[in-house]
Structure 1
Amino acid sequence: MGKSRTYRVLSHWWDFRLKLFVEGILSGIVAGLLVVFFRFMLEKAEVLRDYIYPVLQNNAWWPKAVFFLTLIVIAFLLGKIVRYEPMAAGSGIPQVEGYLSGQLTMNWWKVIPAKLAGGIMAIGSGLSLGREGPSIQLGAAAGQGVSRALRRLRVEEKYLVTSGASAGLAAAFNAPLAGVIFALEEVHKNFSSVVLTAAMAASLTADLVSQNFFGQKPIFHFHDLQVLPLKYYFLLVVLGVIAGVFGVFFNRSLVFTLNMYGKVKVVPEIVKPLLPLMAGGVLGFYLPETLGGGHRLIDSLGSGHYSLIMLFALLAVKFAFTMLSYGSGVPGGIFLPLLVIGALTGDIFGSIAVNLFHINPQYLNNFIVLAMAAYFTAIVKAPVTGSVLITEMTGSFSHLLALITVSMTSYMVVTLLRSEPVYELLLKRILQNRDNAPHQDRGTKIILEIPVCLGALVAGRMVKEVEWPQNCLLVGLKRGETEIIPRGHVEILPGDYLIVLTEGDRTVEVKAALEKLAGETEM
């Protein structure tokens, strides 16, 4: 039965893509509702924090003692959640990438409640973590749940998980286009028309669900954001270099912090969230702007209420608190905190540029926005996603040229410094420190789509002339909109897509071997 269902998928490839479009819509609805609930609870938690701290500030010692005792209980519960479902720890994006590559397993019915409960408690308590990573994982789990409910093959499930991940980002930030590009650039790691179709359907649907609850306004509100004149573009190069260097430092600091937490064997795992929660409890009295993801802090920067000294203090504390929070392993992402750090860097850079080069202060907010894109690019190494994401989050497409300029500068810097993307670093660390290898049935079938690059080893050669990897079967060749049967005499051209069938437990090795054959050759 499994073989016959796989055969039907391959023999009706066009119908399969249309079916994925419909299933993508269904995944987008489920993902959108989950993320809407997640965002709603986090907003209520933020309102509660705003109420609690002023009350505690003006009260006797015993309410403060009760408050910190509550944080201890939350730390214990977070440790229990991570112990119950390790896949719910951290951002969630590396876990989704690991599942899609066949290196990790994921059970949607365990991940969803654990991520929701853990994320609400961790971020809601004030830890410097973002909602986007959990939202992406919730969307991916929703896609997996839809696949299992419809009893689809694992061939379809991987596409639905990817489209669900894009829906999660779209609903988290009201950014459907960024969700699609993120799915292609970071999660799937190549352009696939099948993924594009399903991801676009899921992202748009999830965004409609989200906007129905939260409105159609962009996430960040920068009033009177003017187009930066071309004569100031030399500053974008400088800003890109600074963001690139700081991005490399961010990634290395994050891994260092995780390693330090890992070396602490005296304290049980379930107690490790206690340190950042206690620190956050203290910061709430003295520097509440650094609590949570930092969405409102970015909005406040546009008003210019902070002195240069205060900006440096916020940058240092936010950076350290983010490391402390994420290093504890509780559910929560780094997406939004890194954007906050980028925004603070841009505000400092813009303030200095105004004083040194006598730039009109009306362009100060431009540097805040541009630094967010540059910093995101430096850390994630996804320049297109960064540019589009910030464009959608600010609601203005008139700054796209400046965004691409600063993002590509940052990207070139981190490439020269040989820095790896943060989510790849985190995935490698997960695989090194946890016994969560894939346990897929040998009979499980997976379809891979591998693009043929210019100058690839297989480019210009006939199918029969290529020494194909073991444990895989070339079942299709896609050239534009044309599906070609890969007979032995068919010539493979640059730009083609190899459609390969393999077994689930062989996905990693087969994909690596195919990418060597079809990828760019080193000169």
Structure 2
Amino acid sequence: MTTQKISKVYHALIHWHDFKLKLFSESILIGSITGLIIVLFRYLLEQAEALRGIIYMRIHTDSWYLVIGWFIVLLGIAYLLRWIVRKEPMAAGSGIPQVKGTILGQMRMKWWQVMVSKFVGGILAIGAGLSLGREGPSIQLGATVGQGISRMLGRTKMEERYLLTSGASAGLAAAFNAPLAGVIFSLEELHKNFSPTVLMSTVAAALTAAVISQYYFGPNPVFNLIDLPIFPVQYYGFLIVLGVVTGVLGILFNKVLIKTLDIFEKQYLLSGIGKIIVPLTLAGIAGFFLPDILGGGNNLVDAISSNQFTVTLVVVLLITKFIFTMISYGSGVPGGIFLPMLVIGALIGGVFNHVLIQSLGFDPYYSTNIIVFSMAAYFTAIVKAPITGSILIMEMTGSFNHMLSLIIVSMTAYLVADIAKSKPIYEELLERSLIKRGKVPLNLTSEKRMVIEIVISSGSKIDGRQVKNIDWPLHSLLISIKRGDLELVPKGETRIITGDFLYILTNIDQAANIRKLADQ
């Protein structure tokens, strides 16, 4: 980092109130641009899925020549997706691990190339029927907008991380009409910081993007679950059992997904385009026999909740959707696992419902509740973000009367995953990406600098200690302490207390070690 850029950081810290207002206004701009991009992304995905449905209707009533033609089209899509991923590797997969890596300073993202590649690749992959979701691409698209605004305005790396987080928040908010979930996910999963500064900027971006999304798509939630009843207290014991079941199955999801990625990377029979042809061919076949497993699958949740399927078909859908999601994501094409994992969670809830009703006399009137709770718990077990899971499901179902039930089942699933020492899936995917890039272990000789913001919570390792008695990582300098509205100039005798915000200048490769200082 140049001296000029470091001086900009000092200026921001000295004029912190003005800096927060500037972030707020820039986040509104990011939210507006992201909202428009995601609206177009969602619209084109809907058109692609509608076109896919028309094609299969024609195929069922037309000659076999059309079948051959459709598989040739799928082959062409496989070629395009392979070209996109080779041209811009950062556009592959979900996009959430890439955003995490960029915020942490461990990855570089060329915002314009990634934006175009992710946008086109996501439409091709999801539109062709692969079991992938729009949320991962939406989050990465929002992050590229944040980075693009930062680069065009010449902002510092410290400010760019805030803007990246704001863009990611706006992306999720616009993708699911879920501004609160967008904010909480960005803070809980991406930025790992709940400071007022990042909270204010992410809220501004998420709300702006959600308003734009709702203007075009309406205020209705993603899942059309009408009149969800209040879950009775006497059934809360079932929530614990459901949390344990989804926790175990969430661990299985993570293990199988990582194993699938390993298989795709290590096998030699399929390479390059062959890895993408396999899931696209399966998608083409599934369109004839089991079209419900194609795409993200949010319509499938509505169908399950309205009891349109027999329990046997729900089991078949659960198994095939799970396997197809593994293969789709394992191919490395652009697309997320966020929405597919929610659909799989709903299918688990459908099976669990049947067991409760048939074996334990459970009232079928509350069947939809179990499906909703199962989605939240399954998401939590996989991502290990219980707050995000609870709020996301509330916004996606349009029901805000089940906070206690959602937290109980989500925390149970979280504890099961935590006891089993299951890693959050996005952290594991990020670690894999860094290893492939040769960036683990971190190179401690890097000369690049960045300013890290950490907040001291109660029980932190350095809570109550003097600055001079703290074992600071190498090449690190504590440059400012924010205590409420006060700015303290750090001295050796200055004592760190709970609630302090520390701003530390360090080598970029020491970022993870700096953040560990705030751990308990």
Distance 1:379 1:246 in 2: 9
1:73 correspondence with 2:72: no
The 8 Å contact of residues 449 and 508 in structure 2, kept in 1 or not, is answered as no
The 8 Å contact of residues 101 and 508 in structure 1, kept in 2 or not, is answered as no
Cα distance, 1:204 vs structure 2: 0.4
Distance 1:343 1:165 in 2: 25
Cα distance, 1:443 vs structure 2: 7.2
Match of 2:287 in 1: 284
Match of 2:268 in 1: 265
Cα distance, 1:335 vs structure 2: 0.2
Distance 2:486 2:178 in 1: 32
Cα distance, 1:191 vs structure 2: 1.5
Match of 1:455 in 2: 459
Match of 1:518 in 2: 518
Distance 2:438 2:276 in 1: 22
Distance 2:151 2:448 in 1: 14
* Range moving further from structure 2, 88-97 or 489-498: 489-498
The 8 Å contact of residues 452 and 511 in structure 2, kept in 1 or not, is answered as no
Distance 1:467 1:259 in 2: 38
Match of 2:494 in 1: 490
Distance 1:335 1:419 in 2: 18
The 8 Å contact of residues 448 and 511 in structure 1, kept in 2 or not, is answered as no
Question: Which of 500, 509, 514 lines up with 2:504 in the alignment?
Answer: 500
Match of 1:509 in 2: 510
State the SS of the aligned residue for 1:273. helix
Distance 2:188 2:115 in 1: 25
Whichever residue aligns with residue 511 of structure 1, its letter is A
Cα distance, 1:444 vs structure 2: 5.5
Match of 1:7 in 2: 10
Distance 2:446 2:13 in 1: 19
Question: Which of 146, 163, 166 lines up with 1:163 in the alignment?
Answer: 166
Whichever residue aligns with residue 79 of structure 1, its letter is R
The 8 Å contact of residues 470 and 510 in structure 1, kept in 2 or not, is answered as no
State the SS of the aligned residue for 1:398. coil
State the SS of the aligned residue for 1:499. strand
1:386 correspondence with 2:389: yes
**Length-normalised TM-score, structure 1:** 0.96
Whichever residue aligns with residue 489 of structure 1, its letter is E
Match of 2:184 in 1: 181
Question: Which of 109, 113, 119 lines up with 1:110 in the alignment?
Answer: 113
The 8 Å contact of residues 155 and 445 in structure 1, kept in 2 or not, is answered as no
Match of 1:331 in 2: 334
State the SS of the aligned residue for 2:517. helix
The 8 Å contact of residues 472 and 510 in structure 1, kept in 2 or not, is answered as no
- Pick closer, same or farther for the CA change 1:251–1:178 going to 2, 3 Å: same
Percent identical:
52
Whichever residue aligns with residue 456 of structure 2, its letter is V
Query: Which stretches in structure 1 are left out of the alignment for 5+ residues?
Result: none
Whichever residue aligns with residue 474 of structure 1, its letter is L
Question: Which of 320, 324, 328 lines up with 2:323 in the alignment?
Answer: 320
Distance 1:4 1:101 in 2: 21
Report 1:62-211 matches (<5 A): 62-211=65-214
State the SS of the aligned residue for 2:471. coil
Q: Deviations over 1:120-152 (max 9, x none)?
A: 000000000000000000000010011112121
* Range moving further from structure 2, 413-422 or 428-437: 428-437
Distance 1:231 1:375 in 2: 22
Distance 1:21 1:183 in 2: 16
Distance 1:259 1:121 in 2: 24
Match of 2:31 in 1: 28
Whichever residue aligns with residue 89 of structure 1, its letter is A
Match of 1:234 in 2: 237
Distance 1:511 1:424 in 2: 13
Distance 1:485 1:494 in 2: 17
Distance 1:243 1:481 in 2: 44
Whichever residue aligns with residue 41 of structure 2, its letter is F
Cα distance, 1:510 vs structure 2: 4.0
Whichever residue aligns with residue 518 of structure 2, its letter is A
Cα distance, 1:498 vs structure 2: 1.6
* Range moving further from structure 2, 135-144 or 350-359: 350-359
Query: Once superposed, what is the RMSD of the aligned Cα atoms?
Result: 1.8
1:224 correspondence with 2:227: yes
* Range moving further from structure 2, 264-273 or 228-237: 264-273
Report 1:354-503 matches (<5 A): 354-434=357-437, 445-502=449-506
* Range moving further from structure 2, 126-135 or 53-62: 53-62
Whichever residue aligns with residue 230 of structure 1, its letter is V
The 8 Å contact of residues 130 and 292 in structure 1, kept in 2 or not, is answered as yes
**Length-normalised TM-score, structure 2:** 0.96
Distance 1:346 1:50 in 2: 27
Cα distance, 1:451 vs structure 2: 2.3
Q: Deviations over 1:376-414 (max 9, x none)?
A: 000000000000000011111101110000000000000
State the SS of the aligned residue for 1:134. helix
Distance 1:334 1:3 in 2: 39
Distance 2:345 2:499 in 1: 36
Whichever residue aligns with residue 146 of structure 2, its letter is G
* Range moving further from structure 2, 286-295 or 465-474: 465-474
Q: Deviations over 1:76-119 (max 9, x none)?
A: 11001000000000000000001111111100110011001100
Question: Which of 347, 368, 376 lines up with 1:344 in the alignment?
Answer: 347
Q: Deviations over 1:325-352 (max 9, x none)?
A: 0000000000000000000001111122
State the SS of the aligned residue for 1:216. coil
Question: Aligned residues, how many?
Answer: 516
Question: Which of 237, 254, 259 lines up with 1:256 in the alignment?
Answer: 259
Cα distance, 1:453 vs structure 2: 3.3
- Pick closer, same or farther for the CA change 1:34–1:436 going to 2, 3 Å: farther
Distance 1:3 1:336 in 2: 41
Distance 1:359 1:303 in 2: 17
- Pick closer, same or farther for the CA change 1:194–1:446 going to 2, 3 Å: farther
